[in-house]
Structure 1
Amino acid sequence: MPQELPGFYYDAEKNRYFPIKGPIPGATRSSSAKPSAQNSATEPTQAGNSCKKPNVRMSQLLQARELDGNAITSQKRKCNFKEEFQKIQVSHPMAWKYKGMDRIGVSALEQMHVGVQTLQGQVETDVLLTGSIYGSLSFSEVGKKGQHYDNRSKYMPDRVWCCDKGKEDCSVVAEPIFGLSRGSLPFSSQISCIKLSGKHSYAVDDGPGIRRALITTLGSGTSGGSVYTLDLVEPLDFSPNILNIRRRLHEVGSFNCTLWAADYDYDGSRAVIGTNLGAALLDVETGMASWFLRCKSDVLAQQIIKSGNVVICGLRNGAIVTVDFREKREEFSSRLIRYRIPCSHLDKTVGSSRKEWFEISGNMSPPQTIRMPSSISCLVSLQFDDQYFLASSMDGTVKLFDHRKIQRGAVQSYEGLVNSHTRIQLGVDPSDKFVLSGGEDYNVRLWSIKSGELLFNEKFCNSVPSTVCWKTDECFKGVQDGRHSYSENLGLGSWLGSHEGLFYMQWL
């Protein structure tokens, strides 16, 4: 057995040591902290897991900074002023529900910054892509630019939550959204997933930006699911009707199985899909599919770790497996390497005749397999270092893992989520500091990724907020619209979808 070296971890497959890199991405080291490889490895778990909302007033925090500088004392521990300030800020959001969008049954959400052709010419704007449990895809422009068309329906936000009672009469509201009044694109079954290629490149000078949207349908009792791509290279034209959008939509492939999850690979030329038969790699240009994972447990969640050239798959039986999908694999599962993975003690009942293992075939590494207490609900990587990923299971467990040290267990845990059987999506803000989720008790919760503290836990929905999409980094300019004054810089914002309708949370 190789010996433990402080600040390093041993990779048995590559037979070498690798340095442990710093704290959790999004965590800011205070100026008074002394850098140390060993401290970096333990810092996230030592930060605390109290799951309590910040109870320090803003005025007290400012006073502490004047006395102590950026490294202040809060709740009998040293902390960073900026981090504590942000925690207080996100624990006091405002929330709106969009009138006229009741009972649309949101099953998937993505916001994209793309070019749109208007009567005045081409403009860059934010478009909200909404998938429905009833099998429809809707497009809505966020903000004032959508009013240039006559065939638009204007949806105004109705405030449903405000933490600060002093803001009850505040005139600042979320911006309206403008949807096509002539309907939406119909599909054969529920929209199960929407993914964007180049999601984090919004600026024109930042590279190719968003070039495609990947859309999957779940499938029904009579037919399987399908995969579609929506071309976003050219500006979208919403006039005169949605037929202009339909021409951009291409069916890449259809499958005789249920499509639960999907993710884009690298440049968007390939995608991975998770089904009830396993996982496959799909060439979105040719429509050719090759299976790289076969198992009898549904693949309910997927996340590509681009820096590691692998995909992590979350299964219905609670397993999270790491699979290398880079090599071309034959179509038949008999060509894949077969493994027997031991079942956890949670899978066994007293006196049960259930097997002590489950079988799986693929190009995978068995030691990289970990278990959650129940079916995997969601997997999502952090943006700035995708070796860190969040995983949630249907018993309400939420944990943060480092893929490089996955066998050491979770780096951080997040308490309080209520769930029993629903696939609930986790949403991570663009700065990798906070994670947001709905629950079966209809509450919306928000945690600090670094410390695990529960910063917000309130109910303003009447159904499960199962879909989350954080607003992009683009900020809207201040505008006036009669009696309303829209905020000049919305800062953090997040869309939430449920069977009840569409919601928006904002932190000023």
Structure 2
Amino acid sequence: MPKEIPGFYYDEEKNRYFPVKGPIPGSNSTRKQPSSASSMPATDATSGRCRPNGSSISTLVQARELDGNALHLRTGKKWTCHFETEILNNQVSQPQVWSYDETDHVAEGALEIIPINMITPEGETQIPALLAGSIHGLLSFYVVGKAGEHLVYGVKSMSSRVWPQNGESESEKWAKPPVPLWRIPGAFHRLSSDISRIRSPRKPYSVTSTPCSTASYTLITTLGSDRFGGSVFVLNPVDPFDPHSRNSYLGVVHNVASFNYTIWTADCSSKKNQAVVGTNRGAALVDLENGKVSWVFHSGSDVLAQQFELSGNGVLCGLRNGAILTVDVREGPGASSARLRKHLIPCTPSNKNDRSSTRKWFKINGNIHPTSTTYMPKSVSSLLSLQLYDQYFLASSMDGSIKLYDQRLLGRGPLQSYEGHVNTHTHIQLGVDPSEKFVVSGGEDHSLRVWNIRSGKLLFEKKVFSSYPLTLCTQTDEGSTQERGSCMQYLHEQGNCWGSWHGSRGGLFYTRWC
């Protein structure tokens, strides 16, 4: 199988690579351009499959990046499709969902999986730990999987299956036991206010990567209150973790920086020991070694979602007014507002030529790219960049919209939309599977949904939660730890599956997609 090279495509007949710039060899150089204003991949309403609706180079490149070397082209009344894709879609459409007892109000603020080293009878072993943050400032620790049996003072959370119900699905025939979850009694911390974000630094994906080592730190932020602002904390793990200790704890929590503003969100850089926080004033970089704060932009609209680019040079910021900005953080501007560039940004694309009303424009002071700005219909709820194609990112807003964008072509609008999500005002997170083929989310209607990222097809939709899930992280199921997707991924003993953890006021839920 020829290796994919960015900017080139492989011609099987000529047995060589050609650049994507200019006409494709052997094609008609005078071919007619598509009449449509947009050359994005179109979606067939009945099949949900993605197909090119034009013959421009940008369309072919996007289709190749989304669908691989084999494109979905329409021939007569039939579609060509990938057998493997259809099998995966069928498997994902039959998930299993469990709820866990005594986990109420522990994970509605933040949720993340980190790898830790634990002493077992077989020696020092790397296992996954689930960190849950509540809106009351409580940080709780859980050991996931059979490794929890080694905890002398661990408390096992009893699970009950909520989907499929008896007789509802063929998956009854191959249903596997739920993932064990063990709470570590002494391993918790009480922080100053509601926990708003837990993040571990993610590494660029490599198909040849080996299981990752224990994370050097985990970032934790608090929201703040009416008396004081939010804070930035770092959890430094204990290595190795002793499961026989009565006063067990997984690490030491240090306060790195404090703000006079609300901290809604945060993310870690995979390149440097720094974090970016989103506040009600704008976004700021925080040096996690010395606590130095550098503002990267100021705005009158709250920053509700953030995502570092894999290069570490830029940050995607989703605002309450629906704008998604790309902020360049390489120059390291100082904390003074006078040193930040001033921009006038339209609140919506339709208002960009209307300067008569100040209500339709807002000011940004920072090193941003005005042309690299797009807009969601309502407040941005979640941002999630893809690692396999680092120019693509998913975004959701508080009107139920979920869209896929290409940072190189933001002016043309989204590449794909995902219908059916229910959200009106809630900060609900998105998640993707480790192979980045599916996007999953809960909704305000207490339903769980999963879509095929490439086609936009809704594969599963059922009401399975007792209350709507606010937090989400995904994982794989094959026996070791890797860093992929929206959180620290791991593979455990259950087989070739992937799963997602959902945190709500009603407790923790686990979904196995296989």
TM-score range, shorter chain: 0.7 to 0.9
Match 2:42 to one of 40, 43, 46: 46
CA distance in 1, matches of 2:131, 2:312: 29
Match 1:184 to one of 168, 184, 188: 188
CA distance in 1, matches of 2:247, 2:318: 36
Contact 2:271 2:311 in 1 (8 A): no
Contact 1:93 1:506 in 2 (8 A): yes
What residue number does 1:414 align with? 418
1:210 aligns with 2:215: yes
Q: 1:422 to 1:347 in 2, by over 3 A?
A: farther
Q: Which amino acid aligns with 2:388?
A: F
Query: Which moved further from structure 2: 301-310 or 371-380?
Result: 301-310
What residue number does 2:236 align with? 231
Query: Which moved further from structure 2: 457-466 or 41-50?
Result: 41-50
Q: Which amino acid aligns with 1:156?
A: M
CA distance in 1, matches of 2:476, 2:309: 21
Match 1:506 to one of 490, 500, 512: 512
Contact 1:324 1:364 in 2 (8 A): yes
Task: Please give the TM-score of this superposition, normalised by the length of structure 2.
Answer: 0.80
What residue number does 2:179 align with? 175
Find the residue that maps to 2:110 and give its secondary structure: strand
1:361 aligns with 2:338: no
What residue number does 1:138 align with? 140
Match 1:448 to one of 447, 452, 456: 452
Contact 1:468 1:496 in 2 (8 A): yes
Q: CA deviation at 1:346?
A: 7.9
Match 2:263 to one of 252, 255, 259: 259
Find the residue that maps to 2:81 and give its secondary structure: strand
CA distance in 1, matches of 2:158, 2:204: 28
CA distance in 1, matches of 2:19, 2:39: 10
Structure 2, unmatched stretches of 5+, are: 1-5, 10-16, 25-33, 50-71, 481-491
Q: 1:201 to 1:187 in 2, by over 3 A?
A: farther
CA distance in 2, matches of 1:137, 1:273: 19
RMSD: 3.4
Match 2:395 to one of 388, 391, 396: 391
Residue-by-residue CA offset, 1:465-499 (whole Å, 9 max, x unaligned): 121111146438xxxxxxxxx97415111111111
Q: 1:491 to 1:379 in 2, by over 3 A?
A: same
What residue number does 2:336 align with? 332
Q: 1:234 to 1:165 in 2, by over 3 A?
A: same
Match 1:92 to one of 94, 98, 106: 94
Match 2:380 to one of 363, 376, 381: 376
Residue-by-residue CA offset, 1:165-216 (whole Å, 9 max, x unaligned): 3454866211211111246211111111111123578999456552211111
Find the residue that maps to 1:174 and give its secondary structure: coil
CA distance in 1, matches of 2:73, 2:323: 41
Match 2:441 to one of 434, 437, 450: 437
CA distance in 2, matches of 1:177, 1:469: 15
Q: 1:344 to 1:138 in 2, by over 3 A?
A: same
What residue number does 2:68 align with? none
CA distance in 2, matches of 1:138, 1:45: 44
Task: Please give the TM-score of this superposition, normalised by the length of structure 1.
Answer: 0.80
Query: Which moved further from structure 2: 210-219 or 112-121?
Result: 112-121
Q: CA deviation at 1:355?
A: 2.1
Match 2:84 to one of 82, 85, 92: 82
Q: CA deviation at 1:376?
A: 0.5
Find the residue that maps to 1:147 and give its secondary structure: helix
Query: Which moved further from structure 2: 318-327 or 202-211?
Result: 202-211
Residue-by-residue CA offset, 1:340-369 (whole Å, 9 max, x unaligned): 112327889xxx975231001001111111
Match 1:469 to one of 473, 495, 508: 473
Contact 1:219 1:225 in 2 (8 A): yes
CA distance in 2, matches of 1:421, 1:21: 43
Match 2:279 to one of 256, 261, 275: 275
What residue number does 1:153 align with? 155
Match 2:254 to one of 250, 272, 284: 250
Q: CA deviation at 1:118?
A: 4.4
Query: Which moved further from structure 2: 395-404 or 166-175?
Result: 166-175
Q: Which amino acid aligns with 1:91?
A: S
Find the residue that maps to 1:461 and give its secondary structure: coil
Q: Which amino acid aligns with 2:257?
A: G
Query: How many residues are treated as equivalent by the alignment?
Result: 452
Contact 2:187 2:249 in 1 (8 A): no
Find the residue that maps to 1:458 and give its secondary structure: strand
Q: Which amino acid aligns with 1:111?
A: I
Q: 1:167 to 1:304 in 2, by over 3 A?
A: closer
Contact 1:226 1:259 in 2 (8 A): yes
1:310 aligns with 2:306: no
Q: Which amino acid aligns with 1:501?
A: G
Q: CA deviation at 1:50?
A: 5.2
Find the residue that maps to 2:41 and give its secondary structure: helix
CA distance in 2, matches of 1:50, 1:463: 32
What residue number does 1:492 align with? 498
Q: Which amino acid aligns with 1:131?
A: G
Q: CA deviation at 1:453?
A: 0.3
CA distance in 1, matches of 2:162, 2:39: 38
Q: CA deviation at 1:161?
A: 0.3
Q: CA deviation at 1:21?
A: 7.3
CA distance in 2, matches of 1:490, 1:205: 17
Q: 1:488 to 1:417 in 2, by over 3 A?
A: closer
